[in-house]
Amino acid sequence: MPNFSARGGLEGQRQADLGDGKFLNPILSGDRPDPTVLRDGDDYYMTHSSFDASPGLLIWHSRDLVNWTPIGPALARPLGTVFAVDLVKHGNQYIIYIPFMKAPWAKELSDFANIYAIHAPSMKGPWSEPVDLKIGGLIDPCHVVGEDGQRYLFLSGVNRVRLSADGLSAIGPIEKVYDGWHYPDDWITEAYALEGPKLFRRGEYFYLVSALGGTGGPATGHMVIAARSKTINGPWENCPHNPIVRTRDAGEAWWSRGHATCFEGPGGAWYMVYHGYENGFRTLGRQTLLEPIVWTADGWFRATGGDLSRPLPIPRGLSGIHGLAKSDDFGAPAFGTRWSFYGEPPTELGRAAVSGGTLRIAAKGTGPQDSAPLTQVVGDQAYEVTVECEVEDGAQGGLLLFFNNGLFLGMGIDGKRMVSYRGGKATYWQEPAPAVRKLHLRIVNDRHIATFFYSADGLKWTRHGVRSETSGYNANTVDELVSLRPALFASGNGAVRYRRFRYRALA
């Protein structure tokens, strides 16, 4: 399959912008699922599900829909696992509607999911503490103002609830308002799973864009459908050429495409942003894709991107380098942008501090599995990460490729030996690394082949005796939709210090 991804700048990371007026998906590589996009004048803002990351909800900005730069995290203290959110501007107020899912550390949640909201006077914040809307048991909120001037949230199902004038509480019952479009029974999907409603108004119609088919199952499962109504109260007429988007064959470049937001882009052209898995690289998570749409004479829209393994014109024809440098000299904190904790309870976010070129992480737990590692999203098929690790007496630290608490691999040191991790646990392999408290560590992940190295001085490197194949480190259930990513951890007692983290994408 052709790979036209541009390289250069930002440590050689893949770039959507090819520099010739065209772009190649993904517009944001790595685990950036469930995108929600807000147009605010000539500015576009986007955020994604951040799941168990803390801080969470990194907000991105663009003016051409292809080159995106991070603003910062909106959610300092998650109350639970953060699923698909909605980014909204109403009047002069910015709001993010957030479904918090129950997590082991989520003490405040009484149901499996609860809808909250955070608000701010600017996209740069400051963002409020989460406000409980008292909506339980549903996810995937979408805000819309009806022709009656009332504010509503549409939710998974598709259900609906009316909101107060300030949008910060529910004031009506939860109502079932749409039964979905039903695909043929012989289509290969994960489940029917009507979810992810996104609404917008154009002309005389409200358009309801939803996801079907399940997210983490077969490549052909997920899809985008549309319906419309002249009133927010329905009835909803299904689009005659549903599904708007679907992976029809496992040979395509992008699998499980769905969960779309539609909006008007630069110059009046229309687009949809949605997520998908890259063929052969589920380990990178669901990445963010951009596809143009066109309006037809009958008032419906069609996706026109065609084969998304091929370049498409950039809106406005602009070019540039986007994204976020991943290397870190630890001169200033970068929590919520470059780094985030995995599943860290809000009360323990003070474990990490940056000072004088050193990141210090207070130890917690017995190993990577219960230490809430500090992780970083990556989007390259091949890359190298290097860091200097120094442990205090009683602590273990190291460099990992981390998927979740039960699935990771990498190296740990405790001053007495090297602990080799594979398949989410310490292995029998006794690597003859030096018994020192300070060691340089490196992992090369070359298209699923992970090779470990270590060095006493950062100059002369020894290859670890075991290599691993990582294509199986990915999500196959709805509950674990994350990605394999570099991570630093600190377990046991005391603390671990890290210096000079380096990231380099490989061709």
At residue 4, the pLDDT reads 43
At residue 318, the pLDDT reads 55
pLDDT digits (tens, 9 = 90+) for 43-99: 999 999 999 999 999 999 999 999 999 999 999 989 999 989 999 999 999 999 999
CATH for 161: 2.115.10.20
Distinct helix (H) and strand (E) counts, the chain: 0, 40
Q: Are residues 345 and 309 in the same domain?
A: no
| CA atoms of 282 and 286, how far apart (whole Å) | 7
Q: Are residues 74 and 214 in the same domain?
A: yes
CATH for 352: 2.60.120.200
Total of domains in the chain:
2
Q: Are residues 260 and 397 in the same domain?
A: no
For residue 270, is it within any domain?
yes
Q: Are residues 283 and 360 in the same domain?
A: no
| pLDDT for residue 479 is more than 50 | no
Q: Are residues 300 and 366 in the same domain?
A: no
pLDDT digits (tens, 9 = 90+) for 147-180: 999 999 999 999 999 999 999 999 989 999 999 9
| CA atoms of 252 and 382, how far apart (whole Å) | 21
At residue 157, the pLDDT reads 94
Task: Over range 396-403, report the average pLDDT.
Answer: 97
pLDDT bucket at 474, cuts 50 / 70 / 90 = confident
| pLDDT for residue 202 is more than 60 | yes
Q: Are residues 358 and 288 in the same domain?
A: no
Q: Are residues 361 and 294 in the same domain?
A: no
Which contiguous run of DSSP H or E holds residue 90? strand 86-90
For residue 6, is it within any domain?
no
At residue 1, the pLDDT reads 36
| pLDDT for residue 342 is more than 70 | yes
**b/e burial code for range 380-399 (CB count within 10 A of at least 16 → b):** bbebbbbbbbbbbeebbbbb
| CA atoms of 124 and 436, how far apart (whole Å) | 44
pLDDT digits (tens, 9 = 90+) for 356-374: 999 999 999 999 999 999 9
At residue 348, the pLDDT reads 64
| pLDDT for residue 225 is more than 90 | yes
Q: Token match 């030996």: residue?
A: 417
Q: Are residues 255 and 369 in the same domain?
A: no
Q: Are residues 386 and 237 in the same domain?
A: no
**Phi and psi for 139 in degrees, rounded to 5?**
-130, -175
| CA atoms of 318 and 286, how far apart (whole Å) | 26
pLDDT bucket at 321, cuts 50 / 70 / 90 = low
Give the pairing of strands 56-62 and 352-355: unpaired
Give the whole-number percent of the chain exceeding pLDDT 90: 87
Specify burial of residue 130 (Cβ count, 10 A radius: 0-12, 13-18, 19+): buried
Q: Are residues 260 and 363 in the same domain?
A: no
For residue 332, is it within any domain?
no
| pLDDT, mean over the chain | 93
Asked if residue 256 lies in contact with residue 282, where contact means CB atoms within 8 angstroms, the answer is no
**b/e burial code for range 469-494 (CB count within 10 A of at least 16 → b):** ebeebbbeeeeebbbbbbbbbbbbee
In the chain, the amino acid numbered 407 is L
Of 313, 329, 359, the last residue of a domain is: 313
For residue 322, is it within any domain?
no
Range of the structural domain that residue 258 is part of = 18-313
Q: Are residues 300 and 372 in the same domain?
A: no
CA angle 413, 423, 478 (to 5 degrees): 125
100-104, 165-169, 221-225, 307-311 — which is least confidently predicted? 100-104
